[in-house]
Amino acid sequence: MDKKLSISEIAVTAVMTAVICLLGPLSIPIGPVPISLSILAIFLSVYILGTKLGFLSIVAYLLLGLAGVPVFAGFTSGPAKLLGPTGGYLVGYLFLGLIMGVIVEKSGRKWYLSFLGMVLGTAVLYAFGTVWLAFEANMTAKAALMAGVIPFIPFDIAKMVLALLLGSQVRKALVSGNLLPAAAKKDA
């Protein structure tokens, strides 16, 4: 079985969960699915922390929102939001985190492979969220794609680039300051 988390791992994961919770509610409504900064925070969390701790930060974010803390887009929360028409995109963050995290770690955080990991993880998030939206909102696949994917592609690509630039700098600072867990230092 895996080792227990250290105090520093818990602290860094909590900080990145807080970043997701702070950026997640900031959104621009453009239809049933708003443009939000939560995906930028997810990209940063997983890039900086890696698969395991990044995934834990996503789980903590989702559980806080499920429990009623207004951390989802537009300062919303609760089971109705998580299980409603746009909930598939929220649940899709878990898939994004796992796929991206594995590729980022296996590639040694090479920027182009990390970008590829973000793209592939986001594609799975889009697919999961679109199917969920189409089912829950009784939409056609085309209508769900137009509402939940197509308008977001340029914004999400920009967020990926920003996450790579910010994430690499933050990660370097955390590693040089001995603030990252020892297990995460090997690929810095």
In this structure, the dihedral spanned by the alpha carbons of residues 81, 65, 129 and 105, taken in order and rounded to 10 degrees, is 180
pLDDT of res. 64: 98
Tokens of residue 120, six digits: 């592939």
Which pLDDT tens digits describe the chain residue by residue (188 residues)? 457 887 888 999 999 999 999 999 999 988 888 899 999 999 999 999 999 999 999 999 999 999 999 999 999 999 999 999 999 999 999 999 999 999 999 999 999 999 999 999 999 999 999 999 999 999 999 999 999 999 999 999 999 999 999 999 998 888 777 766 534 444 44
Long-range contact list for 67-72, CB < 8 A, 24+ apart?
69/21, 70/25, 71/20, 71/21, 71/24, 71/25, 72/24, 72/25, 72/38
Structural domain boundaries of the chain? 7-181
User: pTM for this one?
Assistant: 0.92
Question: How many CB atoms neighbour CB 75 within 10 A?
Answer: 12
pLDDT of res. 178: 72
Separation CA 125–CA 33 (nearest Å): 13
Place of tokens 């929360």: 77
Strand, helix or coil for residue 76: strand
As a CATH number, domain 7-181 is 1.10.1760.20
Separation CA 138–CA 151 (nearest Å): 20
pLDDT of res. 182: 39
Of the chain, the end-to-end C-alpha distance in Å amounts to: 25
